[in-house]
Structure 1
Amino acid sequence: MECKYFEKLKDYNYGDLLAETDYWIILLAPDQRNLGTCVIALKRFEGDLSELKDEEWLEFSKIVKKLEYALKKAFNSTMFNWGCLMNSSYRKDPPDPHVHWHMIPRYKEKTEFKGLIFEDPCFGSSTMKTKGGIRKVAEDVRIKIIKEIKDNFEI
């Protein structure tokens, strides 16, 4: 899938393209500590969540339902954390915030995918203070994760 907005968003390093809707792009996040972690980025450049239009909120709600379903079906996720965290945008001078959401699947049990084990040691708590940096997976595994999500994501 070719996304004309994806090139503009590469500087934000949100991840690999999964899908595109009228107002959002859905990407597999670079950090895969929690299998299937995604970023959902607004296509237009907006710095404030309060400035989202009604139609953007409506479409976002549909993405939430369909993406959660896809991750439960693909990887047996237990639950999901959603966050709109734009803190790193303010490390730049001048700040460059862009509305986007982090969708972090949470797993009560260890999860195996393509020979890799994914654990969620702070299940039931916030992942905000998880130490250990990000978990990148090999490109061939990322491709398989993307395929698994797409096979279950009807957008």
Structure 2
Amino acid sequence: MECEYFEKIKDYEYGDLLVETHHWLIILAPDQRNLGTCVVALKRDEVELSGLTNEEWFDFSHIVKKLEKSIKKAFNATMFNWGCLMNSSYLEKPPTPHLHWHFIPRYQDPIEFHGKVFEDLCFGSSTMYNRGDSVELSKEFRKKIKTRIMEYFDL
């Protein structure tokens, strides 16, 4: 059975769908402060990592390898941060947590893509605070990012 969160993100309100696996959606995030930032969301209702099945973990491990490899090739990312932070969902009444990961490519040097320069203002820092304003791009520009990623993404 699919959950409300899944239906919401499947409508791509939060970005552009890159890949759908049996258990996960990989979505290009609307905020592209770090070029190639994605959300990897579970396709069923779950709130904790301990609730994942072995099959979901296996599928996720496959996604990690493919996503990191494709972003490295597409944009020459230096490293990657993965975060499973659902804190803000507990600010809602009632709370509505849903298991998902934030995938944030990190860049030691600025990267230029289609005439736009992306700078990772917090590279090398353990904090993501003060990293500048969000970078929301046009649908056409996001399509270019998606196309570049998909050139290297072979699931």
Given the two structures, how large is their TM-score scaled by the length of structure 1? 0.91
Which structure 2 residues correspond to residues 34-49 of structure 1 after superposition, within 5 A?
Answer: 34-49=34-49
Give me the identity figure in percent.
Answer: 63
1:102 is matched with which residue? 102
1:69 is matched with which residue? 69
5+ long unaligned stretches in structure 1 = none
1:57 is matched with which residue? 57
RMSD (CA atoms): 1.8
TM superposition shift of 1:126: 2.9
Which structure 2 residues correspond to residues 18-29 of structure 1 after superposition, within 5 A?
Answer: 18-29=18-29
Alignment of 1:138 onto 2:138: yes
Which structure 2 residues correspond to residues 7-18 of structure 1 after superposition, within 5 A?
Answer: 7-9=7-9, 13-18=13-18
TM superposition shift of 1:122: 1.3
Given the two structures, how large is their TM-score scaled by the length of structure 2? 0.91
Deviations 1:68-114 (A, max 9, x none): 00000000001000000111111211000000000000001110001
5+ long unaligned stretches in structure 2 = none
Once residues 54 and 140 of structure 1 are traced to their aligned partners in structure 2, the CA distance between those partners, rounded to angstroms, is 38
Could you list the structure 1 runs, at least 4 aligned residues long, displaced by more than 2 angstroms after superposition: 5-14, 130-133
Once residues 6 and 144 of structure 2 are traced to their aligned partners in structure 1, the CA distance between those partners, rounded to angstroms, is 20
Aligned residues: 151
Deviations 1:6-37 (A, max 9, x none): 64435895421000000000000111000000
The farther-off stretch of 84-93 and 119-128 is: 119-128
CA contact (8 A) 2:6 2:42 kept: no
